[in-house]
Amino acid sequence: MDIGIGLPGHAPWTDGRTLVEWARRAEARGFSTLSVSDRLVWNTPEPLVALAAAAGATSRIRLLTSVLLGPLRAGHALFAKAVTTLDQLAGPGRVRLGLAPGMREDDFTHGEVDYGTRGREFDRLLDRLAAVASGDDPVGPPPATAGGPALLFGGGSAAALRRITTHGTGWIAGDATVEDVQGFTPRLRAAWEEAGRPGSPTVIASVMYALGPGAHDAVERAIGSYYAFAGEEYARYGVSIAYTRAEDIAAAVGEFARIGCDELIFMGNDPDPAQVDLLADAVGL
């Protein structure tokens, strides 16, 4: 199982150069992937811009949106152009897009995008991206990766399964527990087989972490406020399942590998770049 790391984009960072330093350290320490999350009404960096900066600061580590809220990108052709441009900047095979329709209505209100039709717009965006990536559309540049970056989808709905089997290479589970992954993967693999897709879908899980003496406080600050929209109980739950001890992180690697995850990504909650090295030490990189 591969081990990736996520930028602390939802945490209280104040200098974008810190995120670039995370990217450099993540590659130097041997992480498989650098991921970045997405929200509009928050201090989260725009994912494609952040990964473009990371692409310029690195040469090997894979780059992943985890997850990008597709329907907020109302200009489908412009979005496709941004994706293929990022793919060119990074080089073949480095960029993967984790995508989801989004659940925060305020993101859509401030983005001036209709929340009620987001599923339909998401499907239209995917069709346009596929046309551009395959060269069947005049929008350019062409991607460096043949056919365009691999797509993964978040969520557990029937629509998510449909998008995985028609457009995607697999599933990405955010803030996941072992039980979450075990509960969904049988449906995923059955849908994949029913659609006649060869091989197996990729399964990626992401979890929250912070390490060091201030780990719990960092998690409280970052996750508690980030998930406050869903109520105190949900925010408390998010804090409670975050990993703040090296021994628990090592155990999580073993458990997620045991249930067949292809990759486990630890999302940062403390902007200090030293967190990259603490995590690398904990997972044995």
Domain boundaries, the chain: 2-283
Give the CA dihedral 122, 125, 130, 136, nearest 10 degrees: 150
The encoded tokens of residue 252 equal: 């999580």
Stretch 41-70: mean pLDDT, rounded? 97
Stretch 38-47: mean pLDDT, rounded? 96
Stretch 228-236: mean pLDDT, rounded? 80
Mean pLDDT of the chain: 96
Helix axes 246-258, 274-283, angle to 10 degrees: 60
- pLDDT value, residue 132: 98
- pLDDT value, residue 125: 98
Stretch 142-159: mean pLDDT, rounded? 97
Q: Look at the domain 2-283 and name its fold.
A: TIM Barrel (3.20.20)
Percentage, residues of the chain above pLDDT 90: 93
What's the farthest any 2 CA atoms get from each other in the chain?
53
pLDDT exceeds cutoff 80 at 260:
yes
Cα separations (Å) of 205 from 77, 151, 190, 249?
A: 30, 15, 19, 13
pLDDT exceeds cutoff 90 at 172:
yes
